[in-house]
Amino acid sequence: MERDLHTLLTSVRDDAPPPRLSVDDITAAGRHLVRRRRRLAMVSSVGGGAVTAIAVVAAALMLGGSPRPLTPAVDPSSLPSAASAVPTAFADAAAFTTTYRGYQTEGYQVSDPEVVTVAYQQSAILPGSGPRAAQPSAVDSIAADPTPSATPARKPGLVTGGSLVVYRPDAFEPAVFEKGGEKVTMPTGDGLLAYSGVNNPSEPPDKAIYGRDAMVPTLAWQYADNAWAAIYWSAWESVPDRDHLIAIAEGLSPSAPQPFPVAFRAAVVPKGYQLLSASYGSDLMPMGMSVSSAVRLTAKAPQLPIYEPYPFEDLPTLTLSTGRSDAGRKLAGNLSCDGQVRCTRILDTGDVYVTAEVNNAKLSTTLTQVTLSIRPQSLDDTGAWLPVAKVFP
């Protein structure tokens, strides 16, 4: 009986047409998908779903229990892929639209874009945690040395993070990095390393600071055609070494374009003023209150290309913002103005405020009128916030 059954199964298998994909094809496709997922920093759920679907296809190809033609249970062309889930290239999006998401790499956490302007998107870079957390910098290592010649520890409160600035196409010229910068090889082409953190950290490097003292350029590279990104660090003492800088740069990958939101409207906007930037408030001085959403308007936008992020404190701007307040109901409805430079109004609930502030600019209307016209949305319901480019066209 066993011999007859074996003969029957053999004849059925021999008569069936060959499968469209071999096991080797499926294995190779799976390996290619894994490599592609790693390059694009896909989330594990998408990658896991794709691998599971491939396993189903492989099982369907290898098992056959009937003389009917053997075909895959799932058409491989319909499987989820990196190309369908995440863009493979950065979109040519309009200003005030984000084209990447935050990510973690080599012990550093890069936030989602927190600031958008007519020229770039910007994220914060902070040391992360976990088994691949960034190692202490050379300054920390020297400071930990108990010998008398050890360099003193860095001052308390020294900022250790940096910023990732993703410039729009044709908006940036890397002149600062070309001045004494060193060429490094990047996946998308050559990069420029102005200061890698590998010099003697006990002394400020000669070519670390250009322009304003707070600007410490480190790495710039082309992430797409005619489009540059740059990493700027807050202090030369804490700049990562070149391997960490390049790892942070390589972690940048495209995502579906998303309009940047704003949490308020303003019925009164001075004539001739246009949108320069929008943010969640990380680029503003808190002035004792938490900022949730802010925009800067200007009557004179800087010409492109630019050579570094905007020096907002030097530009003529009108800044509008809203956020949390602990003033309480006793001050609800209160409007206070510091001349015609800054006005703040506590809303009826007492826990939300709006502010208007002018810097190096003249207005065709009073700052009081502008402030009274600001109408915020719920700060908790961020999903209902409107695209800033539509609110302030």
Quick: pLDDT tens for 349-368. Answer: 889 999 999 999 999 999 99
Domain co-membership, 347 together with 285? yes
3-class secondary-structure state, position 276: strand
What is the torsional sign of CA 163, 249, 213, 202? positive
Residue 50 pLDDT grade (very low, low, confident, very high; cuts 50, 70, 90): very low
Domain co-membership, 219 together with 116? yes
92 in a domain, yes or no? Answer: no
23 in a domain, yes or no? Answer: yes
CA angle 115, 120, 124 (to 5 degrees): 45
User: What residue type is 248 in one-letter code?
Assistant: I
For the cut 50, the answer to whether the pLDDT of residue 31 exceeds it is no
Quick: pLDDT tens for 190-226. Answer: 899 988 776 555 566 665 555 455 578 899 999 998 9
**pLDDT at res. 236:** 81
3-class secondary-structure state, position 85: helix
Q: Are 216 and 234 in contact (CB under 8 A)?
A: yes
Compare 181 and 84 and report the one with higher pLDDT.
181
Rounded to whole angstroms, the Cα distance separating 239 from 241 reads 7
| Average pLDDT score over residue span 51-69 | 35
* 88-92, 137-141, 260-264, 274-278: the lowest-pLDDT one: 137-141
| 109 Cβ contact list (under 8 Å, min separation 6) | 102, 125, 126, 127, 128
**pLDDT at res. 206:** 61
Bridge partners, 350 (sequence order): none
Domain co-membership, 250 together with 297? no
Q: CA–CA distance from 304 to each of 119, 172, 242 (Å)?
A: 8, 7, 29
Task: Supply the range of the domain harboring residue 301.
Answer: 261-391
Compare 65 and 167 and report the one with higher pLDDT.
167
Domain co-membership, 323 together with 269? yes
Report the first-to-last Cα separation within the chain, whole angstroms.
Answer: 82
| Average pLDDT score over residue span 88-110 | 93
3-class secondary-structure state, position 48: helix
Q: At 337, which CATH number?
A: 3.30.200.100
Quick: pLDDT tens for 241-284. Answer: 888 999 999 999 999 999 999 999 999 999 999 999 999 998 98
90 in a domain, yes or no? Answer: no
pTM: 0.71
Domain co-membership, 266 together with 249? no
For the cut 80, the answer to whether the pLDDT of residue 59 exceeds it is no
Q: Are 78 and 54 in contact (CB under 8 A)?
A: no
147: left (phi over 0), alpha (psi -120 to 50) or beta: beta
Domain co-membership, 254 together with 304? no
Domain co-membership, 278 together with 225? no
Averaging pLDDT over each range in 28-32, 90-94, 103-107, 228-232, which range is the top one? 228-232
Domain co-membership, 214 together with 163? yes
Residue 189 pLDDT grade (very low, low, confident, very high; cuts 50, 70, 90): confident
For the cut 70, the answer to whether the pLDDT of residue 18 exceeds it is no
205 in a domain, yes or no? Answer: yes
Residue 13 pLDDT grade (very low, low, confident, very high; cuts 50, 70, 90): very low
Domain co-membership, 254 together with 123? yes
* 68-77, 110-119, 123-132, 194-203: the lowest-pLDDT one: 68-77
H-assigned helices in the chain = 2-15, 23-39, 44-62, 82-85, 138-144, 175-178, 242-250, 367-372, 388-391
Quick: pLDDT tens for 300-343. Answer: 989 999 999 999 999 999 999 999 988 877 888 899 998 889 99
Instruction: Specify the DSSP class assigned to residue 306.
Output: B
Domain co-membership, 384 together with 291? yes
**pLDDT at res. 159:** 66
From the CB of residue 82, how many other CB atoms can be counted at a distance below 10 Å? Answer: 23
Task: Report the domain count for the chain.
Answer: 3
| Average pLDDT score over residue span 137-161 | 42
10 in a domain, yes or no? Answer: yes
Q: CA–CA distance from 53 to each of 5, 49, 57, 85, 130 (Å)?
A: 32, 6, 6, 15, 31
101 in a domain, yes or no? Answer: yes
Length of the chain: 393
Q: CA–CA distance from 229 to each of 30, 98, 190, 198 (Å)?
A: 32, 14, 12, 21
